[in-house]
Amino acid sequence: MKHLKVFNYWPELAPLLSAALLFVLLKTSITGLIAVCAFAIMMLAVTSSVHHAEVIAHRLGEPYGTLVLALAVTVIETAMILSIMFTDGGKNAALPRDTIYAAVMIICNGVVGLSLLIGGLHHKEQLFRIEGTGSGFAALVTLSVLVLVLPLYTISSSEGTYNDLQLEFVALSSLALWLVFVFIQTIRHRDYFLPTTDVQDESVHATPPTSSQAWFSFVLMTISLVCVVGFAKLLSPTIKSLVTVYEAPDAVVGIVIALIVLLPETWAALRAAMADRLQTSMNLAIGSALASIGLTIPLVILFSVLFDFDLMLGLDAKDVVLLGLTFLVGTITLGSGKTNVMQGAVHLVLFAAFLFLTLIP
């Protein structure tokens, strides 16, 4: 029974355990078995971060809770990109593009597809509000084209790049549009992002945590997310060596970073879909994708200009086609406010095509 009682406190113990083990592994060479252990500990940190994010969300209510997790994960994604760029001396000019593109494809096809599929299997049909999700998706399409597609057609610099003035314009535009979305989501039209119906989920109707409990969860969530980044940073040389050994494209590194960073939000979105809270899943997905561009791009551009790092933003032709197809299908999916299993399957096929064509271009 004592063991069971200790197990009840795992969300509080997991971040501290992960941090302690991370400190030990920082002084250890990462070999095959240690890499597997590091990955397992990282997954424990991911699960813990999702738990504490849900505690915060319960205290703040929708959509503030999902916004907290999106912001935390995006800041960590940016930190990972910049740390790897500084480690490589700014030579990996395409890493921000690959990571952001991967994040958009993972969220719009992988996370949304799995949420719709799992939600459809459990509840047949699910509803969400077009007003909020649609406006967020429109902003996402605009930012994605501005950041990842237009550099292919500008003539002031080499193909796929922007000059400094264009980079500054893109950075300010991305940040401004994200801030407008947050204002709409949290103040002006908050009701657009609330669930359409009352759901029979015990956690929703449970007594909200106190302010001190929410702040405690925020600290533990931050520790967990920092541990996720730390383990990902430790595993990045192993990932790069595997990419080299198997002669995989360099874009695989960006995909792995995005997959690791988005694990907490993916797990939280799937749990919400299973509980028939699809609006929460959509808030997480669209909000995360927007933050991934609206916050990451301005910071990456700022550092690239300050430290004179090259920045390649334009996508390859096949990636432009896949991105356009994703947005076309997404417009159809989000156009009715009602989803089913078929829509989830379509998005997952697109996600599989993205992964397959990255490995075998």
Q: What is the pLDDT of residues 213-259, one digit of tens each?
A: 888 888 888 888 788 778 877 777 777 777 777 777 878 888 887 88
Q: Any idea which of 37-46, 75-84, 299-308, 310-319 has the lowest mean pLDDT? A: 75-84
- Find the helix packing angle between 278-294 and 112-123, rounded to 10°: 180
What integer pLDDT is reported at residue 102 of this predicted model?
93
User: Between β-strands 126-127 and 338-339, what pairing exists: parallel, antiparallel or unpaired?
Assistant: antiparallel
What integer pLDDT is reported at residue 74 of this predicted model?
75
What integer pLDDT is reported at residue 89 of this predicted model?
66
Mean pLDDT of 304-325: 90
Q: How many residues does the chain have?
A: 361
What integer pLDDT is reported at residue 56 of this predicted model?
83
What integer pLDDT is reported at residue 346 of this predicted model?
95
User: Between 98 and 29, whose confidence is greater?
Assistant: 98
What integer pLDDT is reported at residue 241 of this predicted model?
76
Rounded distance, CA 30 to CA 13, Å? 24
- What's the pTM? 0.83
CA atoms within 13 A on the CB side of 100: 34
CB contact at 8 A, 261 and 232: yes
Mean pLDDT of 344-358: 95
Radius of gyration of the chain (CA): 20
Residue corresponding to tokens 């593009």: 97
- Per-residue pLDDT band for 37 (boundaries 50, 70, 90) equals confident
- Reported as a single tens digit per residue, the pLDDT across 320-349 is 999 999 999 999 998 888 888 999 999 999
CA atoms within 13 A on the CB side of 63: 35
Is the pLDDT at 201 greater than 70? The verdict is no
Q: ∠ CA(50), CA(183), CA(199), 5° rounding?
A: 45
What the block records as the tokens of 197 is 């119906």
The DSSP bridge partners found for residue 339 are 126
Rounded distance, CA 236 to CA 259, Å? 13
- Per-residue pLDDT band for 161 (boundaries 50, 70, 90) equals very high
Mean pLDDT of 20-42: 81
End-to-end Cα spacing for the chain: 55
What integer pLDDT is reported at residue 142 of this predicted model?
95
Domains, the chain, with CATH or none: 13-197+207-359 (1.20.1420.30)
Q: State what percent of residues in the chain have pLDDT above 70.
A: 91
- Reported as a single tens digit per residue, the pLDDT across 72-117 is 777 777 777 777 777 666 677 888 899 899 999 999 999 999 999 9
Neighbours of 201 (CB within 10 A): 15
3-state secondary structure the chain: CHHHHHHCCHHHHHHHHHHHHHHHHCCCCCCHHHHHHHHHHHHHHHHHHHHHHHHHHHHHCCCHHHHHHHHHHHHHHHHHHHHHHHHCCCCCCCHHHHHHHHHHHHHHHHHHHHHHHHHHHHHCCEECCHHHHHHHHHHHHHHHHHHHHHHHCCCCCCCCCCCHHHHHHHHHHHHHHHHHHHHHHHHHCHHHHCCCCCCCCHHHHCCCCCHHHHHHHHHHHHHHHHHHHHHHHHHHHHHHHHHHHCCCCCHHHHHHHHHHHCHHHHHHHHHHHHCCCHHHHHHHHHHHHHHHHHCHHHHHHHHHHHCCCCCCCCCCHHHHHHHHHHHHHHHHHCCCCEECHHHHHHHHHHHHHHHHHHHCC
Mean pLDDT of 287-294: 86
